[in-house]
Structure 1
């Protein structure tokens, strides 16, 4: 607090409004400095703007970024709407700054002290949800340093900031459970000792709702993630001990890391992975039908045309938003890209789209259709999962709409500093592809709109590739375009479709029951009276008996075919039943229409 500030406040007349506001602000600044010292030490009492009527926790309070008074988190937004200091501050700001919006609690959290981290990591912590988890993270130096190491690795990519926050919050939740089980625990570093390993395992089991009776986890994925986060944090602790030349801490951390490498797998990871796999069994994991994808595409194009017509001659913010969303959704559907990859496409990347000349040697081997496609599609390389380079194809229709969006960016209120192609007006972020797909899938009124998501569309490609009988080289090209390898393509994306299994594999099973003489070279050439009505008749015979079976088959097939199938069922014992059903045979025309289902 500066003496000049006090003198400036006393320069106003006694009882004046300006004098009261300035004195209150000075009083709040002094209280804020005291509160900061209390938070850094981890002990003491904070001074709030209003005395609470009952016992309250320090975690429930945040400072106002304008007057520095400590208010309850839930009431902070109400205070800022009438904060006198805020109103006086806004008078000195530009109109652009007056209209900016942000999360109230995240701005207030930026004033709180953080144990040890860089500016970038501090910003991630401040933008977290301000709850018990984030409060512990601020005061845990090892978690902050772990977050700083992640920021050094992924901080350049803004879309990875959420990943950093998630990893830090997982360790924060882990520490809250540890504190409940042992009051002496203060930070994550207290647990990084060989003698505390079993306690760490017990904390992880409690956090992930482990059931000893069933020997399974309620939250198995969290159990797996906690192991990775702990290893990363211990590696940071080892590096810190080496830099400080602390041999004792280094030795303890290395032994604890060795226990994580050797014993964590048997204690936690194996059972967690088994639980994850078992939960996937007999689970409905359908893929979207092609007709529903086409219906969604047609709906998107209709909305796109309407929006383009509105903003071509005159700017319309609602039409701009609709055009932005529909084009992004079409890019995801056409390329089968992950929604996060397409959403984060930058304006600079689009402007630097590949315009290289076509390789003449390769071009001469292409079919006429392939030659035409190579001319009309624009290829863009973007960042995919784990930093892999993945391509995106844009049609001429998409490019026309995107060029119109770029043309109208400034009029729509998109900040010049916003790097994204599909930018959100009035913000520095991009629109989310998952929201676009969810919104327009519901509007298109297709069957099962919940299946029209980017992950399901990617699984549809992998599953339908089975019908094309692709070579290994062709399958590798598809997998590389999707952004993974053949193993991931076949093991995780390709669905074991029940229709394919019943229709194809069951032929092999029936043929093997009838003997090796019915076997052929492949499944398509198998004709053991299984492909068609025989399989159905076998089920009917089991359920209702031979005579009803013959009656059903006699309605569909001529007498010669019926005798052949009866012989397959076991001989001449039931052939006399044909005479008993002659009077029940349908007319010739009806029988002919029914015969269409014959193999």
Structure 2
């Protein structure tokens, strides 16, 4: 954790420290979650610095965990997150949401501490404050913060990469990979080892559309165990010839995903050849024997970061919009392009499970409602509805063929003209064109004047 005013307050705030211990007990076994623990503690630390500015009698977080201080806590959160009363929106809406979660977690720790100390008064105060957080925090802070987050996403430009750019990046990675393998085949070359390490990791992320952290933290033991995976013969017999071939050439590895979920990673024969070369040269490259990671950093106990690899080689490949070639954008791309396929609900569930989330998250958050789809598909429905229900019968969005030309629509929608009973005369006067028509009616002949 950085050494600054925030960390100084955290060290002197017993409740924030105990909250950090609680998070460590839950996530401490996963080294990558240590940064998450530090971030949650720093959020409460920044919250307390603002609280001290607004009230110099406040000493620690426990002083605020009382029902009478709830409105003050809301005001502190609004000031920290730059709430604008006139616009009714937050400058930092995500921080406003996170503060609520952190406060609830800290109060739960306080309740547990009061129970262990048999302190009925502290327990009662903490439980009432927690009840206020459950019932009133949502209306006071969370709803407006979520609305601000959603509105900031509106009318943004398309933020998923084009397939041609992904292919260009893949080809560049393979070129660098081949050059590095050629240099390392007969003798050790540290620069080539690093290049091979980075390019293979980037290809694993791109091919599997995995979160960069999940692929980066793949361990050497997991890779070695997965090499001997057996094929289920009952399922294998039901596959098509292409599917049988794919099941032979791809290696499937199960790794830890978000929130501890099990997610799969596929490795091609080309990837495995490069990874085997990396494993063979680990010791010569200076990777400590105790380093558990497959994509290890030479001379350290850590792994290389996939986000750094993608950023570096996306820029080198000179593709259009290299900033879009990131793991999150690639995941949104596959979720969006699945709309081109006529997937059943079961097939869509399989895709979502491979991505590491459920169907609701897949459809609501990862799948982008692309404006191209809306203009090309939904607009056909709107045009067809203007032309009457007969054009909709038995059709879907692909088979609809509405008339989109205004003149053509007017011609089709207009009723047949009746033959006029009289004669029309045309003339001009002072720059205006007029029509004089003679009609007959029940009340006798009459003239009608038109401009």
Confirm or deny a common fold (TM above 0.5): yes
Does the 8 A contact of 2:335 with 2:366 survive in 1?
yes
TM-score (ref. length: structure 2): 0.88
Moved over 6 A (4+): 585-591, 593-599
* SS at 2:263 equivalent: strand
Give how far 1:427 is off.
Answer: 1.1
Q: Check 1:339–1:590 CA distance in 2 against 1; reply closer, same or farther (3 A cut).
A: farther
Give how far 1:530 is off.
Answer: 3.4
> Of 590, 594, 597, which aligns to 2:423?
590
Does the 8 A contact of 2:158 with 2:370 survive in 1?
no
Tell me, in whole angstroms, the C-alpha distance in 2 between the residues paired with 1:167 and 1:482.
26
Give how far 1:589 is off.
Answer: 48
1:315-351: CA deviation from partner (whole Å, max 9, x where unpaired): 1111111000000000000000000100011111111
Q: Check 1:150–1:595 CA distance in 2 against 1; reply closer, same or farther (3 A cut).
A: farther
Q: Check 1:590–1:344 CA distance in 2 against 1; reply closer, same or farther (3 A cut).
A: farther
Give how far 1:470 is off.
Answer: 0.4
Does the 8 A contact of 2:177 with 2:195 survive in 1?
yes
Give how far 1:360 is off.
Answer: 2.1
Give how far 1:590 is off.
Answer: 45
Give how far 1:356 is off.
Answer: 3.4
Q: Check 1:318–1:254 CA distance in 2 against 1; reply closer, same or farther (3 A cut).
A: same
Count matched residues.
Answer: 418
* SS at 1:142 equivalent: helix
Give how far 1:587 is off.
Answer: 42
Give how far 1:358 is off.
Answer: 1.8
Give how far 1:285 is off.
Answer: 3.6
1:483-526: CA deviation from partner (whole Å, max 9, x where unpaired): 00111100001111111111111111111112222224211111
Tell me, in whole angstroms, the C-alpha distance in 1 between the residues paired with 2:165 and 2:175.
15
Q: Is structure 2 residue 47 aligned with structure 1 residue 174?
A: yes
Tell me, in whole angstroms, the C-alpha distance in 2 between the residues paired with 1:423 and 1:412.
10
1:443-469: CA deviation from partner (whole Å, max 9, x where unpaired): 001111111110111111111111111
Q: Alpha carbon RMSD of aligned pairs, Å?
A: 8.1
Tell me, in whole angstroms, the C-alpha distance in 2 between the residues paired with 1:529 and 1:401.
56
1:248-288: CA deviation from partner (whole Å, max 9, x where unpaired): 11111111111111111111111111111111111124211
> Of 171, 175, 196, which aligns to 1:323?
196
Q: Check 1:403–1:198 CA distance in 2 against 1; reply closer, same or farther (3 A cut).
A: same
Q: Check 1:595–1:452 CA distance in 2 against 1; reply closer, same or farther (3 A cut).
A: farther
1:183-205: CA deviation from partner (whole Å, max 9, x where unpaired): 11111111111111111111000
Tell me, in whole angstroms, the C-alpha distance in 1 between the residues paired with 2:75 and 2:364.
33
Does the 8 A contact of 2:217 with 2:293 survive in 1?
yes
Give how far 1:313 is off.
Answer: 1.3
1:108-129: CA deviation from partner (whole Å, max 9, x where unpaired): xxxxxxxxxxxxxxxxxxxx11
5+ residue gaps, structure 1, are 1-127, 532-584
More strand by share: 2
Counterpart residue number, 1:350: 223
Tell me which moved more, 164-173 or 252-261.
252-261
Q: Check 1:595–1:273 CA distance in 2 against 1; reply closer, same or farther (3 A cut).
A: farther
1:525-566: CA deviation from partner (whole Å, max 9, x where unpaired): 1122339xxxxxxxxxxxxxxxxxxxxxxxxxxxxxxxxxxx
TM-score (ref. length: structure 1): 0.67
* SS at 1:524 equivalent: coil
Give how far 1:588 is off.
Answer: 45
Give how far 1:596 is off.
Answer: 56
Higher RCO (C-alpha 8 Å, min separation 6): 2
